[in-house]
Structure 1
Amino acid sequence: MPRERGARSERAAPTECGAPDEHAVDRRRVTLTADGPALIEGPVELVTADGTTIRCDRFVVAVCTCRRSRSYPLCDTSHRRHRRAPRG
Structure 2
Amino acid sequence: MPSEASEPADPRAVRRLTLEKDGPLLVEGPVEVRLEDGTVVSSDRFCVALCRCRRSKRYPWCDTSHRRRTRR
TM-score in terms of structure 2 length? 0.80
Matched, 1:53 2:40: yes
Pairs aligned (count): 63
Matched residue SS, 2:37: coil
Matched, 1:35 2:22: yes
Point out where structure 1 has 5 or more consecutive residues left out of the alignment.
1-22
| Identity within the alignment, % | 57
Point out where structure 2 has 5 or more consecutive residues left out of the alignment.
1-9
More helix by share: 1
Radius of gyration: which is bigger?
1
- Which structure has more relative contact order (CA 8 Å, sep 6+)? It is 2
Shift >4 Å, 4+ stretches: none
More strand by share: 2
TM-score in terms of structure 1 length? 0.66
